[in-house]
Amino acid sequence: MKRKIGIVGATGYTGVELLRLLVSHPAVEITCVTSREHAGSRVDAMFPNLRGYLDLTFTAPSDEALSACDLVFFATPNGIAMKSAQTLLDAGTKVIDLAADFRIKDIAVWEKWYGMQHASPHLVEEAVYGLPELNRAAIRNARLVANPGCYPTAVTLGLLPLVENNLIDVAGIIADTKSGVSGAGRKAEVHTLLAEAGDNFKAYAVAGHRHQPEIAQTLSTIAQTAISPVFVPHLLPMIRGIHATLYAMLTTEADLQQLYATRYAAEPFVDVMPAGSHPETRSVRGANVCRMAIHRPGNGQRVVVLSVIDNLVKGAAGQAVQNMNLMLDLAEGTALQQPGLLP
């Protein structure tokens, strides 16, 4: 019997990406797709790429309909899932939040960065951070998963072997990151207009970005010491993709290529490229893969890791489906084996 799946707020880019992946999943059935604004209209009228794959209309959110699902995704803005998760959990429905409501364990830190009072702080401690390469066993047993942010996924996976093995000076980590405009969401804003973002390149939020405390929390937990990396995001004149260039100083000698190859050998969605490689964002476009390469310029003490993902797939919807597969005891890679799209 197929598992019943609901999606709350499926009118954004992560929502339609979830739908695109799930309609070809052999073990699940999408039974509920909600939108208050578009209730009553067909999903494939908004997203014509789904014509012939999904015969549903948007409905207004209903606790009864969502509670009948085995698992519900929240592809909603920050602050929505935290108001509804408890009702679904009480009904036995598992929850994956693609926003940030359950990512930050320190409630005061979360409220500072997200500018609102947390509606269900009691659930934050229970929520499992949904990075399978780090928390696979806990995800399998979870009722509530906080899907990681896009930048934190690329940065954390790129640094994970170095931090786990205490090979770098954690006080000097620099994460120089770039994202396509779809990372800003499906909304009308001047800075994402074609005439503003096209033929343009700029840094933003240098003084502070919401993903910095998420990255710091995860790396600090791994290292068992406080880490606060320099994190600088940039906006690229393209639709999809994240490129993270990560800098750190080595504190001990190691065969980094072998270290990364061994750490990720059993990970189906991390690709460690041969020494000297330069991963490209287009190689992961539409794919649930983090592709990376490790460099030591001049064979010196500085290590440079290049890490690329599709921000909407491994950085959002694809990773969420990966987590769903684990939570529902399905094969982890189901519906996620597509290669990247070229050209």
C-alpha 313/C-alpha 86 separation (Å) is 27
Read off the pLDDT of each residue in 176-201 and give the average, rounded to a whole number: 91
| Token reading at 271 | 């690709």
- Give, in degrees to the nearest 5, the angle at Cα 101 between 138 and 132: 30
C-alpha 206/C-alpha 233 separation (Å) is 7
> pLDDT tens digit string along 129-186?
999 999 999 999 999 999 999 999 999 999 999 999 999 999 999 999 999 999 988 8
C-alpha 258/C-alpha 147 separation (Å) is 29
| Statement: residue 215 has pLDDT above 90 | yes
Is the domain defined by 3-126 classed in CATH 3.40.50.720? yes
- Work out the mean pLDDT of the chain and round it to a whole number: 97
Residue 187 pLDDT grade (very low, low, confident, very high; cuts 50, 70, 90): confident
| Statement: residue 277 has pLDDT above 90 | yes
Percent above pLDDT 90 for the chain:
95
Read off the pLDDT of each residue in 208-213 and give the average, rounded to a whole number: 96
> pLDDT tens digit string along 222-271?
999 999 999 999 999 999 999 999 999 999 999 999 999 999 999 999 99
| Statement: residue 316 has pLDDT above 90 | yes
Percent above pLDDT 70 for the chain:
100
Which residues form the catalytic set? 150
Please tell me the CATH superfamily of domain 151-311, with its number: Dihydrodipicolinate Reductase; domain 2 (3.30.360.10)
Look at 300 and 2; give whichever has higher pLDDT: 2
Question: CA nearest 73: which of 38, 22, 25, 124?
Answer: 22
> pLDDT tens digit string along 35-82?
999 999 999 999 999 999 999 999 999 999 999 999 999 999 999 999
Break the chain into its structural domains and give their ranges: 3-126, 151-311
Predicted local confidence at residue 216, as pLDDT: 98
C-alpha 274/C-alpha 156 separation (Å) is 20
C-alpha 194/C-alpha 263 separation (Å) is 40
Question: CA nearest 211: which of 98, 104, 95?
Answer: 104
Residue 123 pLDDT grade (very low, low, confident, very high; cuts 50, 70, 90): very high
Predicted local confidence at residue 210, as pLDDT: 95
Predicted local confidence at residue 185, as pLDDT: 86
| Statement: residue 188 has pLDDT above 90 | no
Alpha helices (runs of H) in the chain, residue ranges in sequence order? 13-22, 43-46, 63-67, 81-90, 107-114, 121-124, 132-140, 150-164, 194-197, 211-223, 256-263, 318-327
| Statement: residue 189 has pLDDT above 90 | no
Predicted local confidence at residue 184, as pLDDT: 87
C-alpha 164/C-alpha 88 separation (Å) is 35
3-state secondary structure (DSSP) of residue 177: strand
